[in-house]
Amino acid sequence: MDQIETIKQLKKEKNAVILAHYYVDGEVQAIADYVGDSYYLSKLATTLPEDVIIFCGVQFMGESAKILNPEKTVIMADEYADCPMAHMVDTDTIAAVRKEHPDVCVVCYVNSTAQIKSCSDVCVTSSNAIRIVRALPEKKIFFIPDNNLGRYVASQIPEKEFIFHDGYCHVHKSIHKDELIQAKEAHPEALVLTHPECTSDVLELSDFIGSTSEIIDYATASENKTFIICTEMGIFYELGQKNPDKKFYSVGHRQFCPNMKRINLDKVLKALKQLSPEVRLDKELAEKSNLPLRRMLELAKS
Ligand code: 13P
Ligand code: SF4
């Protein structure tokens, strides 16, 4: 039996489902049962009937699936696939801001550890952050950890007061304005579609700003045939699948998340066979970090 057939067979035997983020390699997206952005994957995880979730993404995504589904077995395809941004803020910083601003609402980008979520008031993803922050009753927001996403959200909600943190995604930060200008000169007919983790000077040159799913939806619905894509290159797989007649260009060669790219078919197969490495969380931490994630899912409905 070939590798893909073995994966399918094992999925049935173990009553498992494979979830993948758009940034993992195309070969992994191709065998996944569901592929999506961070919001879709966390929402979906609460509705799945299978006992086992094999997560093809980074640590915080598997952790969120486990927090929202404590009774399920959540297995990481690679236990070392981790998002550096998730570790860029600490609990002391949150406590200090809360002390100085007792009326603050701590808004936590899901790209964060369970411990950070447990000290936050609400979680957001790149696709729902604006809607959720707007819906919050508090006027003062401490947005952690991503500075770029926080500033973008703030630019859309001028009526609120923001305190920013200095976290960032090294992949999106490395997409430079000058290189984008060169790409625009090389493809003047292209629309620029950008993830809000990019810096503000890149966002200013963009035609559309959105999460990975929103970028794919925008390109698919557009009558334009050429696009410059400012986010991680794994997204090109689904863009190509949905739009074989359209052209997609990157800005440079650094649009590559080494953590997402740790995952391959060998590791998915091994994870299914061994049902390991499993995401395990301390009960109290899981309960505390569940609240801001649930609040996000509730507010996102409004
Ligand atoms: P989205 O999936 O929300 O677009 O986020 C991108 C990202 O950086 C995930 O690590
Ligand atoms: Fe983290 Fe950036 Fe990789 Fe997303 S692309 S997992 S934010 S390092």
- Split the chain (302 residues) into runs of 10 and give each run's mean pLDDT: 92 97 98 95 89 97 94 96 98 98 98 98 97 97 98 98 98 96 98 98 98 98 98 98 98 92 97 97 96 95 80
Ligand 1 geometric centre to CA of 13 (Å)? 31
Q: Using CA of residue 124, residue 128, residue 129, residue 131, what is the dihedral sign?
A: negative
- The answer to whether the CB of 175 falls within 8 A of the CB of 230 is yes
- The answer to whether the CB of 36 falls within 8 A of the CB of 213 is yes
Question: Which numbered ligand comes closest to the C-alpha of 214?
Answer: 1
CATH class of 3-82+260-280: alpha beta
Please report which residue ranges of 69-211 form alpha helices under DSSP H. 91-100, 114-118, 129-135, 147-156, 170-173, 177-186, 200-204
Does 171 sit in the ligand 2 pocket, CB within 6 Å? yes
What pLDDT does 155 receive?
98
Ligand 2 geometric centre to CA of 44 (Å)? 20
What pLDDT does 70 receive?
92
Mutate to test the pocket of ligand 1, among 108, 110, 125, 263 (most ligand atoms within 8 A of CB): 125
First to last CA, the chain: 48
Counting other chains too, the contacts that 276-281 makes at CB distance below 8 Å and 24 or more residues apart are: 276/75, 277/75, 277/76, 277/79, 278/73, 278/74, 278/75, 278/76, 279/55, 279/62, 279/63, 279/65, 279/66, 279/74, 279/75, 279/76, 280/66, 281/63, 281/66, 281/67, 281/70, 281/114
Residue 213 makes CB contacts below 8 A (sequence gap 6+) with: 22, 36, 37, 39, 40, 127
What pLDDT does 282 receive?
95
What pLDDT does 199 receive?
98
Does 16 sit in the ligand 2 pocket, CB within 6 Å? no
What pLDDT does 291 receive?
97
What is the distance between the alpha carbons of residues 293 and 118, in angstroms, rounded to a whole number? 9
Question: Which numbered ligand comes closest to the C-alpha of 58?
Answer: 2
pTM: 0.96
What is the distance between the alpha carbons of residues 96 and 142, in angstroms, rounded to a whole number? 11
* CATH number of this structure's domain 85-168+285-301: 3.40.50.10800
- The answer to whether the CB of 44 falls within 8 A of the CB of 34 is yes
Residue 130 makes CB contacts below 8 A (sequence gap 6+) with: 153, 156, 157
What pLDDT does 35 receive?
97
Does 24 sit in the ligand 2 pocket, CB within 6 Å? no
Ligand 1 geometric centre to CA of 105 (Å)? 22
pLDDT tens digits along 114-149? 999 999 999 999 999 999 999 999 999 999 999 999
∠ CA 294-149-251, nearest 5°, is 125
What pLDDT does 43 receive?
86
SS3 136: coil
Ligand 1 geometric centre to CA of 37 (Å)? 6
Q: Where are the domains of the chain?
A: 3-82+260-280, 85-168+285-301, 175-250
Superfamily of domain 175-250: NadA-like (3.40.50.10800)
Minimum-distance ligand 2 atom for the alpha carbon of 60: 6
- HSE-up (13 A, CA, CB side) for residue 202: 28
